[in-house]
Amino acid sequence: IVSMTRQVSDLLGVFLLAREAGLMTHTEKGLICPLEVVPLFETIDDLHRAPGILDQFLQHPIVQRRQSSEQQVMLGYSDSNKDCGILAAAWALHEGQRNLSEVARRHEIKLRYFHGRGGTISRGAGPTHWFMASLPHGSLSGGFRMTEQGETIAQKYANLANATYHLELLLAGTAITTAVHSRPEGRKDPAGEFLPDLSKASQEAYQELLRSEGFIDFYRQVTPIDALENSCIGSRPTRRTGKKGHSIADLRAIPWVFSWTQARFYLPGWFGVGTALESLRLQQPDRFARMKQEFRESSFLGYTLTNVETNLASANIDVMTQYSSLVEDEVLRDRFMKIIVAEFNRTRELLTELYDGDMLKRRPRMAKTLEIREAPLRVLHQQQVALLREWRQQLRSGGESEAEALLPRMLLSINAIAAGLRTTG
Of the CA atoms within 13 Å of residue 135, those in its CB half-sphere come to 28
Average pLDDT over residues 297-322: 94
Residue 130's domain spans which residues?
A: 8-181
Q: Are residues 24 and 173 in the same domain?
A: yes
158-180 confidence digits (pLDDT tens) = 999 999 999 999 999 999 999 99
Establish if 357 belongs to a structural domain.
Answer: yes
Q: How many domains does the chain have?
A: 2
Q: Are residues 206 and 138 in the same domain?
A: no
Point out the domain boundary residue: 123, 153, 181. 181
For residue 1, the model assigns a pLDDT of 95
Residue 240 has pLDDT above 80, yes or no: no
Q: Are residues 165 and 209 in the same domain?
A: no
Average pLDDT over residues 72-87: 92
Q: Are residues 349 and 396 in the same domain?
A: yes
Strand bridging mode 70-76 / 110-116: parallel
Q: Are residues 49 and 139 in the same domain?
A: yes
For residue 230, the model assigns a pLDDT of 85
Q: Are residues 131 and 248 in the same domain?
A: no
Q: Are residues 218 and 343 in the same domain?
A: yes
Instruction: Specify which of 155-169, 188-202, 268-282 reaches the highest per-range mean pLDDT.
Output: 268-282
* Element of type H or E holding 243: none
199-210 confidence digits (pLDDT tens) = 999 999 999 999
Average pLDDT over residues 214-235: 88
Establish if 2 belongs to a structural domain.
Answer: no
Residue 74 main-chain phi, psi, to 5 deg: -100, 140
Average pLDDT over residues 116-140: 83
Point out the domain boundary residue: 181, 214, 241. 181
For residue 376, the model assigns a pLDDT of 95
Q: Are residues 271 and 320 in the same domain?
A: yes
Q: How much is the pTM?
A: 0.91
- Cα-Cα-Cα-Cα dihedral of 197, 309, 78, 37, to 10°? -80
Average pLDDT over residues 8-16: 96
The DSSP secondary structure of 283-295, one letter per residue, reads: H-HHHHHHHHHHG
Of the CA atoms within 13 Å of residue 229, those in its CB half-sphere come to 16
55-73 confidence digits (pLDDT tens) = 999 999 999 988 688 999 9
Amino acid of residue 182: S
Residue 424 has pLDDT above 80, yes or no: no
Using CA of residue 82, residue 250, residue 339, residue 385, what is the dihedral sign?
positive
C-alpha 312/C-alpha 90 separation (Å) is: 17
Q: Are residues 217 and 125 in the same domain?
A: no
Q: Are residues 148 and 217 in the same domain?
A: no
Q: Are residues 229 and 151 in the same domain?
A: no
Average pLDDT over residues 263-290: 96
pLDDT above 90 as % of the chain: 69
Establish if 55 belongs to a structural domain.
Answer: yes
The DSSP secondary structure of 156-209, one letter per residue, reads: HHSSHHHHHHHHHHHHHHHHHHHHHHTSPP-SPPTHHHHHHHHHHHHHHHHHHH
Establish if 98 belongs to a structural domain.
Answer: yes
C-alpha 225/C-alpha 58 separation (Å) is: 42
Establish if 75 belongs to a structural domain.
Answer: yes
Point out the domain boundary residue: 151, 181, 211. 181
Establish if 366 belongs to a structural domain.
Answer: yes
Establish if 188 belongs to a structural domain.
Answer: no
Establish if 340 belongs to a structural domain.
Answer: yes
